[in-house]
C-alpha cells in the first residue's frame, strides 16, 4: 500500500511556467505547460526545439560533458541551485495533477509532457538500459556531471509511460545522489494520473522507473568513489536456443538440466515394469529433478511439488494402479504420505524413503524439543487457543501438539488465510504459530502493514476483516522464536545488501521462511508488481505468469528473477520456462531471455580437483566432464554465512542411485529394503492413542479448510473448550 503526505507548494514565478504549475481555474480549459529543457547538445537542438511551444535559451555552460547526451529540467537553474528542489518539485507536480479533477484531463496532461520529452538515440535504447517490470518498453540512462549531480534521460514506446518518465526526470534530473536515493516509492502515491481500470500497472511504472534511477545512481556513486563493485551472483539465462550459465555455481546447476538419456530410459523402464509412483519435493538435487522431469513424459506417475500435495498425488497414483510409492524428500514427508494412504484405505501399498539413514530437517527438529512443548503448554493455558503448525514437521510433533492444543497444519501458501479465517470464526481467539520463527515474524509484519490499508483493500484479502479487526488480533497472535530452516536462515543482511545494490530492479522471489530483511525487500517489490512472497509453488507460478505476460506483449525482453529459496527449484523453473518459450517460438519471432539469479556466494560451493578438468569453461548438454565446483560447502551444510544457501543437505540425501536401487529391489521379497521402508508409528500419545491417527487430524483439518475455506465444526468445538475431554 502506498501513501504520500506531499503538500502542494506554490512555485516562484519565472519567465516560463514553473514545474507543472496550474490553478483550479484552468481545469475547464487547460493551457499547455512547459518543460524548460537545458543542456541539450547543439547537434540535437534544432530538431528538438521544433517540438516545444516555448523554450528558454539554455544557460551558458550548461551543456553536459557527453556530447551525445541530453537532459531536461523543470526550471532553468544550474544543478548546484537545485539541491533543495526535488521534494518541492514533487509536491508541485502532485498539486497540479490533483487540481485536474477528471481522469481524462490528467491523462491528457501526461500525454502533453510526453510530447516534450526528446527521444533517446538508438545507441541508448539498449537491453542494458531497459527498465524491468513495466508493461511498455522503457529505457533509462544516467551519468554523473562534473559537479557530482545525476543527469537522467528516459524514453518509452508508450506515450503514457513516456509521460511518467518525463515527470520523474523533471523531478530528479540534476539532483544530488542523496536526493535521488531519499525519494521513496510511497512518495509517488498521490500522482494519480491513470484511467480507471489500469491504476496498478501505472503505479508500478512510477515505482519501477524510480527504482532503476536509484540503482544507476548507486553505481555512479560507487564508480566515482573508486569502490569495487559487487560481483554478480551466478545465474542461468534461459532462451529458446538453450541455457547459458553465468558463474561456476550456475554451471554446476546447469550440468543436469539436459539429463542422461540412458538413465532416463532405465528409470522409466523399472517404474513401468513394477508400477511404481514417485513423489518428489522441489528441492531435489538438479540431477534427480532433471531425470524425473524428462521421465514424466513417458511415465505419468511422477509428481514434483511442494510438500502440500505430495500425499494427495500419492493417493491418486495408487488409485491409478501404482503398487509402490517412492518419496524423495525428508522423513516427515514420507511419514505424511504413509499416514494419508492408510487413512484412504491403501495400507497394503509400500512407501519407501531414499536412504537407510535418517533424513532430517532443521525446522522439524526444532518442533521436536522440550522447548517447543513448553511453548504449547503456555498456549494451553490461554483459552481459547489454536495451534497453527507448519506442515514441515513430523507426524509425532503434530500428534503431541494436538493433544496439548487444538492444532491445524498449514503451508507457506495458506498460512495467512488460515489465520485470518480462524480469527474471524472464533471470537477472542489466541493463535500460536510454529515452529518457523522467520515465517511467524513475517506473518506478524504482514498484518502490521495491513493496518495501514483501507477497509476495502483488507476485504479483498479476507472479506470478514477490516482495519479494526486486524489491529485487535495482533496482540493475540503468537509465534515460536527458536526455529529456522537452514536453507532460508542465511538470506540475511549480506545477501539483502547485495540484492539491493545490484538487483533492486529485478523480479524478487522469496519463500515465506526467509529472514525479515529479505521478506521486507520482497514485499516492497511485490507492492510494485515486481515480487512474490510465498511457497515454492507460488514462486513458480509467479515466474510463469511474468514470462507469459512478456510473451503476450510480443516484444523482445530480458526478465531477471532473484531466486530467494533453495536452488533445487531451478529445475522446475527451467522446465516451465522452456515449455512457455517453446510453445510461442513457432508463432512468434520475439526473443525473450529469462535469467534466474542464485543469491549465493563462492563460499557456498566446494572445489573439486582442478586436475580433473583444468580447462572447463562452460557446460554442454550431455557432457560428462567433472565440474570444478559442486553445490554445498565442504562441511556438507550447503550454506554460507557470507551469502545465502546453495542447497539443503538433507534433501540431497535423495540421490538418483538410491532411487534406482530401491526400484530395482521392489517388491522387497528378501527384506533388503527394511531400512528404506516408511513404517507406521507403533508408539502412542500420552493419552494412549495412535500417533498416526492423532497426527493425521491436524492435516485433515487443513484439508477441510482448503476445500471449504473455513475451520471445521469439529476443530471449532475443540478450540472452544471440549478438547481436553477427548476426541
pLDDT at 586 over 80: no
Considering the domain architecture, whether residues 469 and 520 belong to the same structural domain is answered as no
The helix/strand/coil state of 283 is coil
Q: Identify the pLDDT of residue 253.
A: 74
Per the domain annotation, does 569 fall within a domain? yes
Cα distance between residue 45 and residue 428, in whole Å: 69
Q: Identify the pLDDT of residue 57.
A: 30
Considering the domain architecture, whether residues 541 and 456 belong to the same structural domain is answered as no
Considering the domain architecture, whether residues 507 and 453 belong to the same structural domain is answered as no
Q: Identify the pLDDT of residue 406.
A: 97
Considering the domain architecture, whether residues 478 and 496 belong to the same structural domain is answered as no
Of 225, 246, 263, which residue sits at a domain end? 225
Q: Identify the pLDDT of residue 467.
A: 96
Within its chain, how far is the Cα of 280 from the centroid? 22
* Residue 132: all three cell numbers together: 524491468
Q: Identify the pLDDT of residue 22.
A: 30
Strands 430-434 and 477-479, sheet pairing: parallel
How many residues are listed for the chain in this entry? 727
The helix/strand/coil state of 234 is coil
Among 11-15, 538-542, 718-722, whose mean pLDDT is lowest? Answer: 11-15
% residues pLDDT > 90 (the chain):
41
Inter-residue contact 2 to 22 (CB < 8 Å): no
Considering the domain architecture, whether residues 562 and 547 belong to the same structural domain is answered as yes
Q: Identify the pLDDT of residue 150.
A: 95
Cα distance between residue 121 and residue 42, in whole Å: 14
Q: Identify the pLDDT of residue 487.
A: 53
Inter-residue contact 336 to 699 (CB < 8 Å): yes
Per the domain annotation, does 18 fall within a domain? no
What is the pLDDT confidence band of residue 541, given thresholds at 50, 70 and 90? very high
**Catalytic choice (134, 410, 648, 696):** 134
Cα distance between residue 261 and residue 492, in whole Å: 39
Among 381-390, 517-526, 545-554, whose mean pLDDT is lowest? Answer: 517-526
Count of domains for the chain: 3
Among 77-81, 213-217, 404-408, 533-537, whose mean pLDDT is lowest? Answer: 77-81
Residue 537, H or E segment: helix 536-553
Per the domain annotation, does 402 fall within a domain? yes
* Mean local confidence (pLDDT), 271-282: 95
Q: Identify the pLDDT of residue 16.
A: 30
Q: Identify the pLDDT of residue 606.
A: 38
Mean of the per-residue pLDDT values for the chain? 78
Full DSSP string of 178-220: HHHHH--GGGGTT---PPTT-HHHHHHHHHHHHHHHHHHHHHH
Q: Identify the pLDDT of residue 553.
A: 87
Give the tens place of pLDDT for each residue, 38-60. Answer: 343 333 333 333 333 332 233 33
Residues 6+ apart with CB under 8 A from 680: 338, 342, 692
Give the tens place of pLDDT for each residue, 664-715. Answer: 999 998 899 999 999 887 778 888 888 888 999 999 999 999 999 999 999 9
Inter-residue contact 395 to 332 (CB < 8 Å): yes
Which one is predicted more confidently, 403 or 567?
403
Give the tens place of pLDDT for each residue, 421-455. Answer: 999 999 999 999 999 888 898 899 999 989 988 99
| CATH, residue 501 | 3.40.1010
Considering the domain architecture, whether residues 436 and 495 belong to the same structural domain is answered as no
Cα distance between residue 363 and residue 55, in whole Å: 65
Inter-residue contact 320 to 656 (CB < 8 Å): no
- Residue 189's domain comprises 88-225
Cα distance between residue 233 and residue 596, in whole Å: 10
∠ CA(319), CA(322), CA(326), 5° rounding?
A: 120
Give the tens place of pLDDT for each residue, 393-416. Answer: 988 999 999 999 999 999 888 999
Considering the domain architecture, whether residues 467 and 590 belong to the same structural domain is answered as no
| β partners of residue 507 | 561
% residues pLDDT > 70 (the chain):
77
How far is the CA of 631 from the CAs of 420, 601, 638, in angstroms?
39, 11, 7
Q: Identify the pLDDT of residue 4.
A: 33
Of 597, 624, 652, which residue sits at a domain end? 597
Among 20-34, 230-244, 363-377, whose mean pLDDT is lowest? Answer: 20-34
Cα distance between residue 695 and residue 258, in whole Å: 40
Nearest to 119 by CA among 36, 33, 219, 40: 40
Considering the domain architecture, whether residues 193 and 95 belong to the same structural domain is answered as yes
Considering the domain architecture, whether residues 104 and 155 belong to the same structural domain is answered as yes
Per the domain annotation, does 288 fall within a domain? no
Residue 557, H or E segment: strand 557-564
Q: Identify the pLDDT of residue 31.
A: 41
Per the domain annotation, does 80 fall within a domain? no
Per the domain annotation, does 548 fall within a domain? yes
Active site residue 322: no
Give the tens place of pLDDT for each residue, 592-611. Answer: 999 999 887 444 443 333 33
Q: Identify the pLDDT of residue 37.
A: 40
Of 597, 619, 654, which residue sits at a domain end? 597
Q: Identify the pLDDT of residue 319.
A: 97
In 336-452, the DSSP E strands lie at 350-352, 385-390, 407-410, 430-434
Per the domain annotation, does 271 fall within a domain? no
Considering the domain architecture, whether residues 550 and 590 belong to the same structural domain is answered as yes
Cα distance between residue 654 and residue 292, in whole Å: 12
| CATH, residue 191 | 3.90.1010.10
Considering the domain architecture, whether residues 532 and 573 belong to the same structural domain is answered as yes
Give the tens place of pLDDT for each residue, 410-427. Answer: 988 899 999 999 999 999
Q: Identify the pLDDT of residue 278.
A: 98
Per the domain annotation, does 68 fall within a domain? no
Considering the domain architecture, whether residues 140 and 196 belong to the same structural domain is answered as yes
Work out the number of other CB atoms within 10 angstroms of the CB of residue 123.
9
Amino acid at each position: 500500500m502506498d501513501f504520500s503526505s506531499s503538500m502542494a507548494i506554490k512555485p516562484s514565478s519565472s519567465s516560463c511556467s514553473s514545474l507543472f504549475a496550474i490553478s483550479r481555474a484552468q481545469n475547464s480549459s487547460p493551457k499547455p505547460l512547459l518543460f524548460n529543457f537545458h543542456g541539450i547538445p547543439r547537434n540535437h537542438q534544432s530538431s528538438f526545439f521544433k517540438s516545444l511551444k516555448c523554450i528558454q535559451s539554455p544557460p551558458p555552460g550548461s551543456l553536459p560533458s557527453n556530447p551525445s547526451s541530453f537532459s531536461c529540467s523543470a526550471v532553468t537553474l544550474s544543478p548546484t541551485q537545485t539541491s533543495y528542489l526535488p521534494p518541492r518539485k514533487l509536491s508541485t507536480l502532485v498539486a497540479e495533477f490533483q487540481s485536474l479533477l477528471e481522469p481524462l484531463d490528467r491523462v491528457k496532461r501526461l500525454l502533453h509532457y510526453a510530447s516534450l520529452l526528446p527521444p533517446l538515440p538508438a545507441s541508448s535504447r539498449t537491453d542494458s538500459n531497459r527498465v524491468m517490470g513495466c508493461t511498455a518498453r522503457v529505457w533509462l540512462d544516467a551519468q554523473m556531471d562534473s559537479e557530482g549531480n545525476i543527469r537522467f534521460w528516459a524514453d518509452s514506446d508508450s506515450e503514457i509511460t513516456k509521460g511518467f518518465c518525463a515527470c520523474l526526470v523533471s523531478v530528479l534530473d540534476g539532483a544530488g545522489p542523496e536526493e535521488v536515493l531519499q525519494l521513496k516509492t510511497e512518495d509517488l502515491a498521490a500522482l494519480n494520473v491513470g484511467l480507471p481500470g489500469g491504476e496498478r500497472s501505472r503505479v508500478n511504472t512510477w515505482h519501477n522507473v524510480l527504482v532503476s534511477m536509484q540503482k544507476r545512481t548507486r553505481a555512479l556513486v560507487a564508480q566515482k568513489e573508486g569502490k569495487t563493485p559487487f560481483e554478480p551472483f551466478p545465474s542461468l539465462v534461459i532462451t529458446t536456443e538453450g541455457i547459458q550459465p553465468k558463474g561456476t555455481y550456475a554451471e554446476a546447476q546447469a550440468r543436469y538440466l539436459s539429463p542422461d538419456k540412458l538413465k532416463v530410459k532405465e528409470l522409466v523402464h523399472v517404474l513401468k515394469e513394477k508400477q511404481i509412483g514417485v513423489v518428489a519435493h522441489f528441492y531435489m538435487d538438479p540431477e534427480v529433478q532433471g531425470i524425473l522431469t524428462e521421465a514424466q513424459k513417458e511415465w505419468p506417475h511422477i509428481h514434483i511439488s511442494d510438500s502440500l500435495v505430495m500425499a494427495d498425488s500419492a493417493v491418486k497414483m495408487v488409485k491409478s494402479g501404482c503398487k509402490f510409492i517412492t518419496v524423495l524428500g525428508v522423513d516427515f514427508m514420507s511419514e505424511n504420505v504413509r499416514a494419508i494412504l492408510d487413512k484412504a484405505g491403501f495400507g497394503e501399498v509400500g512407501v519407501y524413503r531414499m536412504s537407510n539413514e535418517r533424513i532430517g530437517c532443521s525446522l522439524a527438529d526444532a518442533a521436536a524439543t522440550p522447548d517447543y512443548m513448553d511453548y504449547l503448554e503456555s498456549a494451553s493455558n490461554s483459552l481459547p487457543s489454536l495451534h497453527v503448525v507448519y506442515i514441515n514437521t513430523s507426524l509425532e510433533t503434530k500428534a503431541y501438539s494436538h493433544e496439548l492444543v487444538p492444532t491445524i497444519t498449514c503451508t507457506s501458501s495458506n498460512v495467512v488465510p488460515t489465520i485470518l479465517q480462524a480469527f474471524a470464526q472464533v471470537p477472542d481467539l489466541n493463535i500460536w504459530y510454529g515452529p518457523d520463527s522467520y515465517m511467524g515474524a513475517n506473518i506478524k509484519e504482514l498484518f502490521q502493514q495491513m493496518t495501514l490499508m483501507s477497509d476495502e483493500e483488507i476485504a479483498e484479502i479476507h472479506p470478514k476483516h477490516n482495519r479494526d479487526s486486524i489491529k485487535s488480533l495482533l496482540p493475540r497472535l503468537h509465534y515460536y522464536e527458536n526455529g529456522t530452516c537452514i536453507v532460508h536462515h542465511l538470506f540475511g543482511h549480506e545477501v539483502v545488501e547485495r540484492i539491493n545494490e545490484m538487483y533492486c530492479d529485478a523480479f524478487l522471489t522469496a519463500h515465506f521462511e526467509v529472514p525479515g530483511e529479505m521478506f521486507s525487500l520482497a514485499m516492497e517489490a511485490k507492492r510494485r508488481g515486481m515480487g512474490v512472497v510465498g511457497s515454492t509453488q507460488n514462486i513458480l507460478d509467479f515466474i510463469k505468469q511474468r514470462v507469459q505476460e512478456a510473451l503476450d506483449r510480443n516484444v523482445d525482453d530480458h526478465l531477471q528473477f532473484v531466486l530467494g529459496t533453495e536452488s533445487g527449484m531451478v529445475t522446475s523453473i527451467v522446465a516451465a520456462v522452456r515449455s512457455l518459450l517453446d510453445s510461442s517460438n513457432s508463432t512468434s519471432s520475439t526473443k525473450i531471455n529469462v535469467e534466474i539469479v542464485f543469491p549465493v556466494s563462492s563460499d557456498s560451493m566446494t572445489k573439486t580437483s582442478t586436475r580433473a578438468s583444468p580447462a572447463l569453461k562452460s557446460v554442454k548438454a550431455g557432457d560428462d566432464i567433472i565440474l570444478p565446483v559442486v553445490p554445498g560447502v565442504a562441511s556438507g551444510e550447503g550454506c554460507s554465512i557470507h551469502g545465502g544457501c546453495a542447497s539443503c543437505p538433507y534433501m540431497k540425501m535423495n540421490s538418483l542411485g538410491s532411487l534406482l536401487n530401491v526400484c530395482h529391489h521392489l517388491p522387497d521379497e528378501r527384506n533388503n529394503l527394511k531400512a528404506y521402508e516408511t513404517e507406521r508409528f507403533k508408539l502412542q500419545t500420552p493419552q494412549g492413542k495412535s500417533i498416526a491417527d492423532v497426527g493425521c487430524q491436524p492435516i485433515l483439518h487443513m484439508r477441510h479448510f482448503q476445500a471449504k475455506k473455513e475451520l471445521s465444526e469439529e476443530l471449532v468445538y475443540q478450540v472452544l473448550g471440549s478438547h481436553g475431554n477427548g476426541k
